[in-house]
């Protein structure tokens, strides 16, 4: 791992250190407890013994990589180190383990993720709180999309929240950069619930619109306090979408009938949009925003900017201030450390 330094501060300035390529060792971090184990890596709450700071340490799995880190991953990490936004989790530096195949991402620590929070909360978020979370999510996403990054895996377990009510998008880009070929992943591992219809139907062009579909699913999930479209197979996922929004056609979605997988499914005929029945209490502006996020045609779907301008965020109840978000118990830290006995969050692995 020589010649290899990804310290944020060292990126542009500290040339000496860059040349020497000193990359800190993970030994400089005291692992406190495991907070998450997702598809691609284990995440620990840890203490930086040099600065005393509490951080999140994500071990990146690279089982299939025999020759070190793939160049695409290097590019991705370099890119992520440059991203700075209050609503994007901060990747501080990359440190190495004893072997070339283990590297760790050091990130700013966030006390909650929305999945474990939703699972453990006694009372659902109020609408003002939901708006506060979504507005922050959209603000972070606008920044990501402006930086030409599509997240591709937005879901509640990839949204973190600090005790100060600041929402941060996490786990972005990495899923793709560090992934083994997509074919080897079973549908059970890769979440379907937030997947846009164009992806389910085999479209290979992945635009920022796939993230916006996921935002629609997240907004609806926060409002209803349960996942909106919890499909357990791709076919069931498509079916759930159609039950909710009606059958797409060439008129509302030009190009739909030519999507690679359309012929493989017998798409049922369902002419109604049932969003209003699902959310009878939601205002017109709220329903308009949801419908805009759930446009079948990715080209017509709301962008982050469109969504931020929605009157839903300007009408009562107004989004609450992040600082006024309640603080919640730190459920993840109650788990035994390092035993692997922590309960798997069912939302993170639908
Ligand atoms: N910076 C962080 N602060 C606090 N918890 C985190 C942080 N990053 C990740 N986590 C926790 O670890 C879990 C898995 O991390 P994530 O980056 O989503 O990896 P994976 O690719 O394994 O899903 C998250 O759902 C969250 O609970
Ligand atoms: Mg994740």
Task: Compute the mean pLDDT over every residue in the chain, rounded to the nearest whole number.
Answer: 83
Higher-confidence residue of 72 and 142: namely 142
Q: Is 153 a catalytic residue?
A: yes
User: What's the pLDDT score for residue 227?
Assistant: 97
Q: What is the pLDDT of residues 218-228, one digit of tens each?
A: 999 999 999 99
To test the pocket of ligand 1, the residue of 37, 38, 151 to mutate (highest count of ligand atoms within 8 Å of its CB) is 38
Share of the chain above pLDDT 90, in %: 61
User: How would CATH label the architecture of 112-328?
Assistant: Orthogonal Bundle (1.10)
User: What's the pLDDT score for residue 115?
Assistant: 94
Count of CB atoms situated within 10 Å of the CB of 12: 9
- Rounded to whole angstroms, the Cα distance separating 53 from 108 reads 9
Contact 218, 195 (CB under 8 A): no
Kindly report which listed range (67-71, 119-123, 160-164, 293-297) carries the lowest average pLDDT score. Answer: 67-71
Count of CB atoms situated within 10 Å of the CB of 348: 20
194: CA distance to ligand 1 center in Å? Answer: 17
Kindly report which listed range (233-247, 295-309, 329-343) carries the lowest average pLDDT score. Answer: 329-343
1: CA distance to ligand 1 center in Å? Answer: 25
Cis peptide before 317 (omega within 30 of 0): yes
Higher-confidence residue of 108 and 344: namely 108
First vs last C-alpha separation in the chain: 36
Pocket of ligand 1 (CB under 6 A): 35-36, 38-41, 43, 56, 58, 89, 107-110, 113, 157-158, 160, 170-171, 175, 348
Q: Residue 339: is its pLDDT beyond 50? A: no
Ligand closest to CA 347:
1
Ligand 1 atom with least separation from CA of 157:
25
Q: Which CATH class is domain 4-108?
A: alpha beta
Rg for the chain, CA atoms, rounded: 21
Higher-confidence residue of 332 and 334: namely 332
Q: What is the pLDDT of residues 139-173, one digit of tens each?
A: 999 999 998 888 888 999 999 999 999 999 998 65
* pTM attached to this predicted model: 0.87
Residue ranges for the known binding site for ATP are 58
Task: Compute the average pLDDT of residues 228-254.
Answer: 96
Q: Residue 350: is its pLDDT beyond 90? A: no
Choosing from 48, 63, 67, 153, the catalytic residue is 153
Distances (CA, A) of 97 to 19, 175, 232: 20, 20, 37
36: CA distance to ligand 1 center in Å? Answer: 6
Residue nearest to atom 16 of ligand 1 (CA): 171
Q: Residue 16: is its pLDDT beyond 70? A: no
9: CA distance to ligand 1 center in Å? Answer: 23
CA quadruple 5, 11, 12, 14: dihedral, nearest 10: -50
To test the pocket of ligand 1, the residue of 32, 34, 36, 154 to mutate (highest count of ligand atoms within 8 Å of its CB) is 36
Contact 107, 90 (CB under 8 A): yes
Common-topology check for domains 4-108 and 112-328 = no
Residue ranges for the known binding site are 58
Residue 184: pLDDT band (50, 70, 90) is very low
Residue nearest to atom 4 of ligand 1 (CA): 110
Task: Compute the average pLDDT of residues 312-338.
Answer: 84
156: CA distance to ligand 2 center in Å? Answer: 9
User: What's the pLDDT score for residue 266?
Assistant: 83
Kindly report which listed range (151-155, 161-165, 201-205, 314-318) carries the lowest average pLDDT score. Answer: 201-205
Domain ranges of the chain: 4-108, 112-328
């Amino acid at each position: 791992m020589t010649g290899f330094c990804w310290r944020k501060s060292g990126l542009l300035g500290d040339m000496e250190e860059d040349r020497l390529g000193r990359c800190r060792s993970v030994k400089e971090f005291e692992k406190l407890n495991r907070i998450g184990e997702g598809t691609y890596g284990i995440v620990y709450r840890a203490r930086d013994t040099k600065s005393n700071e509490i951080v999140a340490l994500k071990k990146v799995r690279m089982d299939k990589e025999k020759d070190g880190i793939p160049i695409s991953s290097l590019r991705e990490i370099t890119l992520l180190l440059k991203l700075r936004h209050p609503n994007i989790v901060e990747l501080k530096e990359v440190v190495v383990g004893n072997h070339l195949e283990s590297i760790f991402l050091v990130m700013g620590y966030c006390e909650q993720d929305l999945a474990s929070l939703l699972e453990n909360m006694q009372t659902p978020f109020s609408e003002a709180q939901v708006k506060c979370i979504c507005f922050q999510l959209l603000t972070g996403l606008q920044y990501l999309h402006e930086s030409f990054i599509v997240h591709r895996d937005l879901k509640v377990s990839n949204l973190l929240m600090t005790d100060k009510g600041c929402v941060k998008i996490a786990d972005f880009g990495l899923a793709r950069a560090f992934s083994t070929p997509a074919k080897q992943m079973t549908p059970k591992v890769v979440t379907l619930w937030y997947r846009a219809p164009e992806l389910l139907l085999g479209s290979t062009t992945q635009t920022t619109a796939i993230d916006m579909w996921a935002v629609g699913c997240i907004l609806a999930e926060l409002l209803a306090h349960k996942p909106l479209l919890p499909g357990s197979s791709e076919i069931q996922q498509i079916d759930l979408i159609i039950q909710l929004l009606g059958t797409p056609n060439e008129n509302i979605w030009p190009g739909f009938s030519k999507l690679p997988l359309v012929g493989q499914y017998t798409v049922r005929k369902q002419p109604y949009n049932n969003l209003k029945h699902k959310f009878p209490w939601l205002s017109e502006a709220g329903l308009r925003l949801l419908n805009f996020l759930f446009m079948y045609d990715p080209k017509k779907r709301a962008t982050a900017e469109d969504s931020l301008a929605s009157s839903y965020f300007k009408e009562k109840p107004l989004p609450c201030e992040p600082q006024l978000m309640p603080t919640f118990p730190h459920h993840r830290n109650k788990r035994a450390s390092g035993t692997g006995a922590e309960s798997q969050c069912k939302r993170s692995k639908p």
